[in-house]
Structure 1
Amino acid sequence: MSRHSTMCSSKSWKMRKLVRRESKLVNNLSEFLIRVSAFARKEVAGIIRQPRLVAILILGPFLILLIFGLGYTNQERTLNTIIVIPTGSTIEERITGFADRLRGVTLFDFVATETEADKRLDDREVDLVVVTPVDPLGDIRAGRHATLEFHHHEIDPLEQLYVSTLERAYIEAINREVLTVAADRGKSQAGSINEKVQDALTDAKALQLDLERGNGPAALRDLEALAEDMQVLTFALSDGLAAYEGVESLEDETNPDQPQSIFGNIAEVERLMASLALLDETQGSFAAEAEQAATIVAELTLIDLFLEEIQNLDSRVVARPFKGVVSNLSGVELGPIDFYVPGVIALLLQHISVSLAALAIVREMRGGSIELFRAAPISSFETLLGKSISYLVLTAILAAILTALVILGLTVPMLGSWTGYAVVILALLFTSLSLGFALSVVSRTDTQAVQYSMIVLLASIFFSGFFIALHRLAGSVQLVSWLLPATYGTFLLQDVMLRGLPVNPLVLIGLLLYGFILFAFSWWRLRHKMASV
């Protein structure tokens, strides 16, 4: 009886102990949530009581995007240009006619001296001076390039690149014009050359016929006449059809089935004629020589066909046989504003989050609130978590409003998943807030915290990929880029919004890991500060 009573009493005592432990755990958790939510309500209420701040946070980023979208023009710049045509120029008429077809420039004037043109360039009357050569043909005959000089006063590297691009385009256009004229002349000469080919064919056929009949003396006379025809033909072909021979040079010379070029045909004819020149007119049979003559006829027939092809070719195609076609396999046509929007969203949300969080702890320290938190008592983790939740909710609402304004107001495409977009935004906000708290716990004054947040903003403009693509930065500098949340945000948002790709898990994990490291550092520093108060 006593043993049974003792066992029941022991079980009852263990049950009561377990209940008290669970009750204490529930009470601790409840108190933790109450303290954290109190911080969240405090921060949210503090911001809501400032309507101007709320309006700036909501409308400010959108107005920046709107003004940027309305103000950015993707039009080709037109440069006011003076063309210098020196006195005695041999190409004055060609230059004046060609200048009217130049793109990207507005012809301002033609002058005769480089000094006058450069003075007007120095006075900012024009943007570009083009100096043409006096005697380009003489330069070329002397083995020199005929040089056009482009003078400008641009200091912006992008504008310098634009002028260099125009220079290359103009030189290419002039060279193409020269080649087109040469090709036209080649086509006009092809008709007269064709007559010479017909003469050579007539003599070659006569040679073949005489050899088949066994008439050696007549065959030698035919061979002599053919030699004279070939000498004239070879000179005419080398003088008039060089541009077309350049097109034929594109054929695969390593392919044994590929027909040889026209000058290869000429060389084969000359080789066979040299062999036939050793002909003994007294020999009995000329069967082998007749086969060689037949080969000569076949080679001359190929030359005749080539000349017919030349007369049907477009000279502009011969002058520029290749052209490029660019295909964007993404299947999306983006405007210039669309490309920058993901970077602007990442940059603005990072700056808002960092600025809010950077002032959060330092103001509590300067105002003496940390001493009250210790007396409450409230732990450093509860303080930091409460502020993080409040700012995360607030900035998430701002991000949602900003996204709606951008998608509906600026009609920026959203090609990917909205779920993926939301995950990226929340990860970006969390890491940005953690960075702001890290700056706050190392700052001693509000001014210092603001300066730190501005440094982060400036670094993000240059190193996050918003202004300069990451691949244009040195590898050591890219380490700085990946210390900025905006870099991760820009990369991920461009994939989701503009490419329609799923969220890159490696980059997302890197962003979240970076955020947790910053949060842990902020917690450690805040705990140290609260303990030393």
Structure 2
Amino acid sequence: MIRLKALLVKEFLQMKRDKAVIAMMLFLPVVQLLLFGFAINTDVKHLPTIVYDQCLQQDSRDLLDSFTASGYFDIKDIAGNFEEVDEAVDAGREKVGIIIPPDFASNIKHGRSAEVQVIVDASDSMTASSAINAAQIIGQLKSQELMGKKYRQLTGEKYITPYDIRIRPWYNSDFVTAYYMVPGILGIVLTMTMVMITSMAIVRERETGTLEQLLVTPMKSYELMLGKIIPYIFVGYIQAAVALSAGILVFDLPVRGSLSLLFLLTTPFIVASLALGILISTIAKTQMQAMQMSFFVLLPSVLLSGFMFPREAMPTLFYYLGDILPATFYMEIMRGIILKGIGIQYLWTQAAALGVFIIGVFTISLVKFSKKIT
């Protein structure tokens, strides 16, 4: 009994010393609850939409009003030709493209089936499913409005669907789940391993007593951090190559874009993840704290980056929180190159965002590290 009491006292004292870790463990369920409760929504609405209306009459405007009123489509741009629609969807600025032909109103007036083409970015299968279902329902409802006596007389009692909504899912027309998930999994694996490895780098040196030995050398702070980062860049490349090869061989993952560009843009993502781990390492006092803080990065990366749940369905606050995560930009890079086959002209903004993230986080890490050693 005495030994048990002594052990309990020892553990409580240890918990007191590790109060930061205990606080994180208590706070983590609250973060999970908020993220799952508010940010996760599979009913995707307000999809950015571009319209190419060649009819420009009241019938086409009424149809577009129905799309907007549904709450699933937000018309952001008006295109002047097909190429503008293609470019907007390829770049990821718009998730849906609606093309109305010039004879749309004439077909409605004379009792003929009026075709409308709806292009959907199916690289995100959940978003695409919501868009397709909503477009089909809108077409059915608008058709029912015209299926009155006058329209039946025009068609000679023959059943013709007035609004013929032609869905064109691009990039993943068969909605193969692996095509959507595998690129995302690669980003999450790299985030998890790179952040966790480097988050304990400086802390481990401090706990083993070797940090002081490094500090007495002529080595500068940024050289020490670069020395901790550079070797793991090659580890990240190996991980990416192995995971991508497995995706191609096992899941028949199509790589429609440039592999060299993919690996080139993987570099800033790996460095950004390593820099984030170094920042954690300069803040944490123990390896346990570093590991707990790493989970605070991993969880939002899974939930807010668009890996599993579409970002378009998230509340505004959580949507912009996702914009500060390196994984968010890498998801767009991976799916853009692998599924869409797009080039650097559409992905330079994501690469630039990762570059800004690296500079900002690395600078903060240097300042924090300098304060700790002075």
**TM-score (structure 1 length as normaliser):** 0.41
Q: What SS is found at the alignment partner of 1:467?
A: coil
Equivalent of residue 150 in structure 2, options 245, 248, 251: 245
Q: Hey, what does 1:510 align to over in structure 2?
A: 353
Give the AA of the match of 2:364: F
Structure 1 residue 244: Cα displacement: 4.2
- Per chain length, whose mean CA-contact separation is higher, i.e. which structure has more relative contact order (CA < 8 Å, sep 6+)? 2
Q: Contact 1:247 / 1:321 at 8 angstroms: preserved in 2?
A: no
Map Cα deviations across residues 373-401 of structure 1 (whole Å, 9 max, x no partner): 12334322221111111111112112111
RMSD: 3.0
Q: Could you tell me whether the CA contact under 8 Å between 1:350 and 1:486 is conserved in 2?
A: yes
Quickly say closer, same or farther: Cα 1:334–1:419, change in 2 above 3 A.
Answer: farther
What code does the residue aligned with 1:506 have? Answer: T
Structure 2: how far apart are the matches of 1:346 and 1:452? 19
Structure 2 unaligned segments of length 5 or more: list them.
Answer: 1-125
| CA–CA distance in structure 2, aligned partners of residues 488 and 424 of structure 1 | 10
What is the CA–CA distance in structure 2 between the aligned matches of 1:523 and 1:486, rounded to whole Å? 23
8 Å CA contact retained: 1:373, 1:379: no
Q: Could you tell me how far 1:469 is from its partner in structure 2?
A: 1.5
In the alignment, structure 1 residue 379 sits paired with structure 2 residue 284? no
Q: State the SS of the aligned residue for 2:296.
A: helix
Identity %: 24
- In the other structure, the counterpart of 1:412 is 253
Contact 2:330 2:350 in 1 (8 A): no
Matched, 1:427 2:268: yes
1:305-346 CA distance string (max 9 Å, x none)? xxxx73xx54xx25x544432113548655121012221111
Between Structure 1 and Structure 2, which shows a larger proportion of strand residues? 2
When residues 470 and 413 of structure 1 are mapped into structure 2, their CA distance, relative to the original with a 3 A threshold, is: same
**Counterpart contact for 1:360–1:437, Cα < 8 Å:** yes
Q: Is the 8 A contact 1:361 1:441 kept in 2?
A: yes
Map of 1:349 onto structure 2: 190
CA radius of gyration, larger in: 1
Shift of 1:347: 1.2
TM-score for both structures, normalised by structure 2: 0.57
Distance change in 2, residues 1:331/1:399 (3 Å):
closer
Matches for 1:253-268 after TM superposition, within 5 Å = none
Contact 2:304-2:311 within 8 A present in 1 as well:
yes
Distance 2:305 2:297 in 1: 10
Query: Structure 2 matches for 1:168-179, cutoff 5 A?
Result: none
How many angstroms apart in 1 are the aligned matches of 2:206 and 2:184?
A: 34
Single out whichever of 520-529 and 384-393 deviates more from structure 2.
520-529
Q: Secondary structure at the residue paired with 1:326?
A: strand
For 1:329 and 1:498, locate their aligned partners in 2 and report how far apart those are by CA, in whole Å: 9
Number of residue pairs matched by the alignment: 237
Matches within 5 A, 1:198-277: 243-248=148-153
| Aligned-pair CA distance for 1:495 | 0.7
One of 512, 516, 524 as aligned partner of 2:367: 524
Q: Which residue of 1 aligns with 2:178?
A: 337
Structure 2 CA distance for aligned equivalents of residues 499 and 490 of structure 1? 12
Q: Which runs of 4+ in 1 moved over 6 A?
A: none
Q: Secondary structure at the match of 1:483?
A: coil
Could you tell me which residue of structure 2 aligns to residue 50 of structure 1? none
Please tell me whether the aligned partners of residues 438 and 518 of structure 1 are also in contact (alpha carbons under 8 angstroms): yes
CA offset at residue 499 of structure 1? 0.4
Distance 1:430 1:352, change over 3 A: same
The answer on whether the counterparts of 1:460 and 1:484 sit within 8 Å (CA) in structure 2 is: yes
Select 2:229's aligned residue among 388, 410, 413: 388
Match of 1:470 in 2: 311
What amino acid is aligned across from residue 507 of structure 1 in structure 2? Q
Query: Is there any run of 5+ residues in structure 1 with no aligned partner, and where?
Result: 1-157, 180-241, 250-308
Distance 2:211 2:358 in 1: 24
User: For residues 199 and 296 of structure 2, what CA distance do their matches in structure 1 show?
Assistant: 12
Aligned equivalents of 2:148 and 2:251: distance in 1?
52
